[in-house]
Each structure stands twice: as structure tokens, then as C-alpha cells.
């Protein structure tokens, strides 16, 4: 299929040149907007964001952080972005920490990446200096309001300003190698299996450029994706800024809907969980107003008209959309599978859903549907700087935006990279004759949730096996009935026959439930085990004594 990209993209080699470029090109245009508690918008222009980031970069460089690793531990906020851009521009690597993890995991991730400094918000500062050893190992910087005791990112901006003003060109002295690691991002999943992925300046910035080639997301974009995931950073922040649009940010589920309404965006970049929530709300309000039946018939009629290629656009449906999400008319969804029916129904309301596919190791986007080139059910066309081939049903990727490897894990890197530079994604899929990519499953045993997060069953099984009553266990993703493909974590347990002797199945279940409740209390909400079934027989196993998962 011959394809003409919608947009021209700027490709930058390094973060300093990216900041300099977008600042020159878009100057006083609004770049980042967020809303205060009192619902007041606060907007920073391209000139302001880039000025702050570059000043802080000069300060970090002068403090000797070039070539070192600095972690960011905070919920989404404006300062998070300034810190990230400053760290990468100073020639250091920004270690992005998933703050939904437990306190212990957060500290483990910081030390695993050999970070010498940590940028933390008020909430996370105490977690990052729990022991004296840690307080000595990491220089701490505050994100948010300045305080007397702690140097903040804004202090660094002030510190770097005179250093920058001495230079003829403000990025002088900030030369970076395009192939050097600019960011270390952890793959989704539980910590022991979550790997630190090294992404270079060029990998990230070319990916951001590629992402906008076929997607017209309009002048105002809303995103609540966490910045610590590469999808949130490259897919929402960097690619929006590379084309001069305004990004409205949010990172708190509590205020997400409020901020979405306040933002009145043209598009939203998100995960299936949010799309489904919007869909559910739409039907809930229709039910409440007693109009659900009417709405169903209307949708049915439009569907038939559309199938017959007759004009199907309907004013009632677009009025409902206007009331629900205002001007929003494009949703980019990635990270997990989204039900086709939801995409089809939203389209009738006048909202186009563009699904894409990505993986942290690929910085992260590999393919995306465009406004013009779009096939429902597929994850779109492969990006310009990537090639995809299918080897025994597995998707392999090669190109400019691949990772530099897993940090300090050469063996694991070798396992996923071929000698001629192909990355084995572990996802199964195929390409159709027009070059659209489809995902059919996963090679690895990962349970993928609607928010794009993943959990490895093996890790949870390891925890469950610590309960004496559990002899054998298999953890899997089960449909929970509320929608066809909503996944919950389920465990099938074969109890120790000796320890459970004389107990009724109810007693066994009750005992196991109380132990699992204790385990759940230590896990993030989405990873909690919500269903337990008891088996009266051992699992069928392979020759190497592994449970045959697919035969259960």
C-alpha cells in the first residue's frame, strides 16, 4: 500500500538540540498546562519550559552529574517534566521510577540503576531517605514547592541561569552523544522481572518524531499517562511538543475526569482502561436519563447505514459526545487490547480511536493507526524508523529506536536481541497485505491489564508457594464478567494434602483466603489476587516439572 504521511516531523539527535529546536520554532505558544486544586489553569510556554530545563541542565552539568544516573520519584507534575528534560540535556540519564510500587521496590529500583541523585516530590521524599546509608548515597532534590532544607529543581534553574547566560549559544557546553543513554525506564511487571531498559537520545526522539507522522491529534492534547512509562513520556509528552501542540497534563485518577472536562482537548492519549471507563459512563448516564433503549436503536441504525456506505453521521450522537467530553474527537489508545465494539461505537459518536502498539524496549512505539490509514482491530502501520518481521508468529523489530540494552544485564539483553540487531518482542502477531500489524497473543506468560500494566504469574506464584498450605499453584488472568475481556488475577491452588487432612474445602478456602489477603495488602490494586479455586488433583506437568499452563 502506498502511503503518504500526514505530517512532516522534526527529528532531533539529542535532548539539548530538541529543546533548542522546539523553543526556536514555537517560542511563546502554550506548551504544558495543568490545573490547580481550584481548577485554575497554569500554562507554561515553549520558551519557559525549555528555558527552565536548559538552566537546570547547566546547573546539573556544573555539579558534575554528566554521565551519571539521576532518578525521578514523583507523581506526574510540571516539575517532573523539567527534571527529566534537564537530566537528559545535562548528559546524565533519567531513571524513571514507577511510583505505584511498594516503598521497598522503589528504593530497590533506584539502587539497581546506580542512581547517584533522586528528584522526589514531597510524598516520596521520606521513602528515598529512609536509612542513613541511602541518604548518603543519593543527593536529594525536591520537585514542587521550594523548601529551606532541600534543594529543589527550581533552585537548580536559578543556579544554572547565570551559567547559561555566559554562553554564546545556550546549548553550548551541553553536547551529548546521540547514542548515549538518556533515560532508563523499567519494563512493566513485578520488580524481580522488571528490567531497566536503557534508551538513547536518538532512540527516544526519533520515536517521538515517528509517532506524529500519521496521527493528527489536533492543537490541544490531554494525557494522564504516567511520565515514568515510556508511553507516557515519548508517546504523550515528547511527540506533542515536537509538533508544537499544547499538552494538558494530569496524573491523578481522582482529578482525571475533572481535568479532561477543563482541558477541552482535541485528543487524548491513553490506555484501554480509561476508554472503557468513558464508555461505561456514557451508558450509565443514558440509563439514568431513561434513554438507553433509544440510544441503542440509534446506534444500530447508524451502524447499518455505515455498512451500506450511506451518510450515517447523526446530530443526536454528536450532541451526546459534546455533553460528555466536549471537543474531544481523537483517542490514541495503547498498552493493552481494546475491545473492537467500543472503537466502533465511539466512532459513531464522532470519536476516532487510534490503536497503537509499543514495548518499552522500542522507546516504546512500534506501530500506530493514523487518522487516514486506520484499520480497526489492528495496531496500525509500522513506524518509519522501524522494520517488523514475523518469525514463528513472534513479532521481531529492528531500527533506530531500539534500546541500548538492559542496564547491567548483558545476558538478558542477549536473550532478546539477535546478532544482526533484531529485538524479539515476545508478542505474537501478523502483518496483513497492506502492512497493518495485528497482535494475537503473548509468548511470555504475562497477564496484561487494561491500564497497560503487566504482571508475571511466576512472580506471584513464587509468593503464593511461601504459604505452607499451598503445594502447587498456577496464576492466570481470568475474565471477571463485567466486560468480555476485563482481566483479574486468579490463582488455581492444589493444597498440600497432608496439611489439609480432615479439613473441608470451605475451611481450606477460608484459610487460604486469609493468607492471600495478607499478600494482597502488599500488592498494588491491579496485581491483587481476586479469585481462588481449589483443585483436588495435581497439575499436569512437563518433563522438566513445569506446570503445563495451556492444558489447564
Partner 1 sequence: MLEIIQKIIFEVTGKSEVTIDTDFVRDLELNSFDVMNIVCAFEEYFQTTIPTRDVWKLHQVRDVIEYARERGLEE
Which of 137, 277 has the CB closer to partner 1?
Answer: 277
Nearest CA among 317, 380, 370 for reference residue 347: 317
DSSP-assigned letters across all residues of 341-378: HHHHHHHHHT-EEEEEEE-GGGSSEEEE--SSS--TTS
Residue with Cβ nearer partner 1 (38 or 308): 38
Interacting residues toward partner 1 by CB under 8 A: 75, 99-100, 123, 252-254, 273, 277, 450-451, 480-482, 486, 488, 517, 520-521, 524-526, 528, 530
* Min CB(480)–partner 1 separation in Å: 6
Cβ at position 363, least distance to partner 1 in Å: 27
Q: Which is nearer to partner 1, 7 or 281 (CB)?
A: 281
CB of 40 vs partner 1, minimal distance in Å: 17
Phi-psi region of 141 (alpha: psi -120 to 50; beta: other; left: phi over 0): beta
Whether omega before 364 lies within 30 degrees of 0, making that bond cis, reads yes
Dihedral angle at the C-alpha atoms of 125, 128, 134, 135, nearest 10 degrees?
Answer: 0
- Looking at beta carbons only, is 60 or 490 nearer to partner 1? 490
CB burial string 176-187: b at 16+ within 10 A, e below: bebebbbbbbbb
Among 502, 30, 531, which residue's Cα sits nearest to residue 265? 30
- Which residues 6+ apart lie within 8 Å of 506 measured at CB? none
Which of residues 136 and 525 has its CB atom nearest to partner 1 in the complex? 525
Shortest separation between residue 253's beta carbon and partner 1, angstroms = 4
Pairing of strands 394-399, 386-391: antiparallel
Q: How far is CA 143 from CA 37, 156, 195, 289, 450, in A?
A: 17, 11, 25, 44, 30
Least CB distance to partner 1 at residue 85 (A): 24
Shortest gap between Cβ of 106 and partner 1 (angstroms)?
Answer: 11
Q: How far is the CB of 110 from partner 1 (least distance, A)?
A: 17
Q: Which is nearer to partner 1, 99 or 153 (CB)?
A: 99
Which of 60, 325 has the CB closer to partner 1? 325
Q: Which residues contact 345 (CB under 8 A, 6 or more apart)?
A: 279, 299
Q: Is-contact 16 57, C-beta < 8 A?
A: yes
Helix (H, G, I), strand (E, B) or coil at 442: strand
Smallest distance, partner 1 to C-beta of residue 287, A: 10
Which residue lies nearer to partner 1 by CB, 241 or 508? 508
Nearest CA among 361, 355, 363 for reference residue 335: 355
Would you state the cell numbers that stand for residue 399, as one nine-digit string?
531500527
In angstroms, give the least distance from the CB of 95 to partner 1. Answer: 20
Whose grid coordinates read 539483553? 413
Phi, psi for 279 (deg, rounded to 5): -65, -45
The nearer residue to partner 1, 99 or 336, going by C-beta atoms, is: 99
Amino acid at each position: 500500500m502506498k502511503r503518504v504521511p500526514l505530517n512532516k516531523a522534526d527529528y532531533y539527535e539529542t535532548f539539548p538540540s530538541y529543546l533548542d529546536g522546539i523553543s526556536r520554532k514555537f517560542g511563546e505558544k502554550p506548551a504544558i498546562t495543568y490545573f490547580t486544586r481550584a481548577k485554575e489553569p497554569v500554562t507554561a510556554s515553549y520558551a519557559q519550559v525549555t528555558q527552565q530545563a536548559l538552566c537546570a541542565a547547566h546547573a546539573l552539568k556544573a555539579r558534575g552529574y554528566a554521565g551519571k544516573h539521576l532518578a525521578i520519584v514523583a507523581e506526574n507534575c510540571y516539575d517532573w517534566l523539567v527534571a527529566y528534560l534537564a537530566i537528559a540535556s545535562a548528559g546524565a540519564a533519567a531513571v524513571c521510577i514507577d511510583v505505584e510500587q511498594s516503598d521497598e521496590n522503589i528504593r530497590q529500583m533506584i539502587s539497581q540503576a546506580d542512581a547517584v541523585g533522586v528528584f522526589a516530590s514531597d510524598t516520596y521524599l521520606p521513602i528515598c531517605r529512609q536509612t542513613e546509608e541511602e541518604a548518603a548515597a543519593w543527593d536529594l532534590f525536591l520537585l514542587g514547592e521550594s523548601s529551606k532544607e532541600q534543594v529543589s529543581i527550581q533552585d537548580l534553574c536559578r543556579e544554572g541561569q547565570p551559567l547559561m547566560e555566559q554562553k554564546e549559544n545556550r546549548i553550548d557546553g551541553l553536547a551529548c552523544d546521540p547514542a548515549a543513554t538518556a533515560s532508563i525506564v523499567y519494563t512493566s511487571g513485578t520488580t524481580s522481572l522488571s528490567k531497566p531498559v536503557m534508551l538513547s537520545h536518538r532512540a527516544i526522539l526519533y520515536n517521538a518524531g515517528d509517532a506524529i507522522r500519521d496521527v493528527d491529534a489536533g492543537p490541544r492534547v490531554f494525557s494522564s499517562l504516567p511520565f515514568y512509562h515510556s508511553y507516557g513520556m515519548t508517546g504523550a509528552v515528547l511527540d506533542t511538543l515536537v509538533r508544537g501542540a499544547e499538552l494538558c497534563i494530569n496524573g491523578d485518577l481522582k482529578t482525571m475526569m475533572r481535568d479532561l472536562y477543563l482541558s477541552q482537548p482535541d485528543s487524548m492519549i491513553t490506555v484501554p482502561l480509561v476508554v472503557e471507563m468513558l464508555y461505561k459512563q456514557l451508558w450509565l448516564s443514558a440509563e439514568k436519563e431513561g434513554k438507553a433503549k433509544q440510544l441503542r436503536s440509534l446506534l444500530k441504525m447508524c451502524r447499518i447505514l455505515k455498512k451500506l456506505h450511506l451518510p450515517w453521521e447523526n446530530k443526536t450522537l454528536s450532541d451526546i459526545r459534546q455533553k460528555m467530553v466536549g471537543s474531544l474527537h481523537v483517542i490514541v489508545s495503547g498498552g493493552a487490547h481494546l475491545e473492537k465494539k467500543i472503537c466502533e461505537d465511539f466512532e459513531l459518536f464522532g470519536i476516532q480511536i487510534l490503536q497503537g502498539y509499543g514495548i518499552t524496549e522500542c522507546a516504546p512505539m512500534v506501530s500506530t493507526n493514523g487518522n487516514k490509514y486506520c484499520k480497526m482491530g489492528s495496531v496500525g502501520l509500522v513506524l518509519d524508523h522501524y522494520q517488523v518481521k514475523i518469525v514463528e508468529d513472534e513479532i521481531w523489530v529492528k531500527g533506530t529506536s531500539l534500546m541500548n540494552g538492559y542496564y547491567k544485564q548483558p545476558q538478558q539483553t542477549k536473550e532478546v536481541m539477535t546478532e544482526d540487531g533484531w529485538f524479539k518482542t515476545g508478542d505474537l502477531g501478523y502483518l496483513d497485505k497492506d502492512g497493518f500489524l495485528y497482535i494475537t497473543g503473548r509468548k511470555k506468560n504475562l497477564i496484561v491489564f487494561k491500564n497497560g500494566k503487566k504482571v508475571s504469574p511466576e512472580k506471584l506464584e513464587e509468593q503464593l508457594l511461601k504459604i505452607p498450605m499451598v503445594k502447587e499453584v498456577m496464576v492466570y488472568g481470568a475474565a471477571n464478567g463485567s466486560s468480555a475481556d476485563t482481566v483479574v488475577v486468579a490463582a488455581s491452588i492444589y493444597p498440600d494434602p497432608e496439611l489439609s487432612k480432615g479439613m473441608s474445602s470451605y475451611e481450606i478456602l477460608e484459610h487460604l483466603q486469609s493468607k492471600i489477603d495478607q499478600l494482597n495488602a502488599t500488592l498494588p490494586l491491579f496485581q491483587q489476587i481476586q479469585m481462588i479455586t481449589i483443585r483436588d488433583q495435581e497439575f499436569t506437568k512437563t518433563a522438566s516439572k513445569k506446570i503445563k499452563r495451556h492444558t489447564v
